[in-house]
């Protein structure tokens, strides 16, 4: 079976003037247009391609990488809005439609939205929805406390950031669990911190049991990691250099690296500090 909205590994059946015809073990065929045909191939060999419907609603294959696949959530930009709805740029020639009925608020061209891609059973078309909650359920959770999970950040609330867990469930990262910049649409990893009696899920963005760093130590550590694990500052550095690099006093800096050293996050050398 050739699955729309996914990558399929298919047999190369024949070469034609319009491209390669590919097939599965159930004798279904699909065209890979000439523009996507690799320079070398063999009839009878295999090729992996993404399958969807072209502008004429015909099944077609491509070797391009889409920004989203069926049954996934992702942040996409609106390329066009017309009488049918909003069309999202998902990295392919034909844009992905979000019908007006599937928009939580009216989408605007150029804006970015988290959407869910699904196969419409009535039309057999790949479409997207911005009404995310109806594709998520916490009734029967497939995660457990302490488990590492994949997250998509969706919405800022009064308590913290709402996230999608493993493309299946809703969770929340409380403000006191956030020690880095995050934004709508970010893909990141987290850990299930707590599952409440009503199946609401609390998420931590750092491994459980890791001590939360005080602000100065956290800023130093984030800057250190952003610089590839090395920072050319130490306890003998000029206060002006510390202020310029980290916007903090030397006293605060020394306290911060002391915390990091005790937590065994860094080693201090004569030329600076290194991550461990």
Assess whether 128 and 153 both reside in one domain: no
56 shares a domain with 77:
no
pLDDT in tens, 95-118: 999 999 999 999 999 999 999 999
Residues 81 and 129 in one domain: yes
**What's 52's domain CATH number?**
2.40.50.140
191 and 229 part of one domain = no
Residue 32: what pLDDT? 98
Q: Retrieve residue 82's tokens.
A: 């017309």
pLDDT for 215-226, tens place per residue?
Answer: 788 888 888 888
Q: 193-220: buried (b, 16+ CB within 10 Å) or exposed (e) per residue?
A: bebeeeeebbbbbbeeeeeebeebbbbb
**Residues paired with 142 in a beta bridge:** none
In which element (H, E) is residue 37 found?
none
Give the model confidence (pLDDT) of 151-176 as tens digits. Answer: 999 999 999 999 999 999 999 999 87
Output the domain CATH number for residue 260. Answer: 1.10.10.10
Same domain? For 199 and 237 the reply is no
Residue 246 included in any domain: yes
Give yes or no: residues 105 and 84 share one domain. yes
Choose the final residue of a domain: 177, 204, 231: 204
What integer pLDDT is reported at residue 11 of this predicted model? Answer: 97
141 inside domain: no
Q: Is 31 within the bounds of a domain?
A: yes
Structurally, the chain folds into a number of domains equal to 4
The whole-number pLDDT of residue 212 equals 52
Domain co-membership, 84 together with 33: no
The answer as to whether 257 is a domain residue is yes
Query: What percentage of the chain carries pLDDT values higher than 90?
Result: 70
pTM higher than 0.75, yes or no?
A: no
Considering the domain architecture, whether residues 237 and 200 belong to the same structural domain is answered as: no
Identify the domain containing residue 90 by its residue range.
73-133
pLDDT for residue 179 is more than 80? no
Tell me the mean pLDDT in the region 50-70. Answer: 95
Q: Compute the distance between CA of residue 61 and CA of residue 154 in angstroms, rounded to an integer.
A: 31
Q: How confident is the model at residue 261 (pLDDT cuts 50, 70, 90)?
A: confident
Gap between the Cα atoms of 61 and 23, Å rounded = 11
């Amino acid at each position: 079976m050739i699955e729309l909205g996914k990558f399929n590994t298919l047999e190369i059946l024949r070469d034609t003037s319009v491209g390669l015809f590919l097939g599965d073990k159930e004798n279904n065929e699909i065209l890979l247009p000439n523009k996507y045909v690799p320079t070398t191939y063999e009839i009878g060999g295999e090729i992996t391609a993404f399958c969807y419907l072209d502008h004429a609603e015909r099944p077609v294959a491509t070797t391009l990488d889409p920004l989203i696949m069926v049954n996934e959530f992702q942040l996409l930009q609106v390329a066009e809005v017309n009488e049918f709805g909003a069309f999202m740029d998902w990295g392919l020639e034909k844009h992905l439609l979000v019908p007006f009925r599937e928009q939580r608020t009216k989408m605007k061209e150029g804006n970015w939205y988290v959407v869910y891609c699904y196969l419409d059973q009535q039309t057999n078309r790949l479409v997207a929805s911005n009404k995310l909650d109806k594709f998520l359920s916490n009734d029967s959770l497939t995660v457990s406390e302490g488990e590492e999970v994949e997250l998509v950040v969706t919405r800022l609330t009064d308590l913290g950031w709402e996230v999608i867990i493993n493309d299946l469930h809703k969770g929340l990262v409380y403000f006191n669990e956030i020690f880095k910049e995050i934004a709508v649409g970010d893909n990141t990893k987290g850990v299930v911190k707590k599952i409440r009696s009503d199946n609401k899920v609390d998420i931590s963005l750092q491994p459980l049991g890791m001590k939360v760093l005080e602000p100065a130590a956290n800023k130093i550590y984030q800057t250190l990691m952003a610089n590839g694990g090395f920072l050319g500052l130490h306890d003998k550095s000029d206060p002006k250099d510390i202020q310029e690099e980290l916007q903090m006093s030397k006293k605060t800096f020394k306290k911060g690296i002391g915390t990091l050293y005790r937590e065994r996050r860094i080693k201090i050398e004569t030329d600076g500090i290194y991550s461990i």
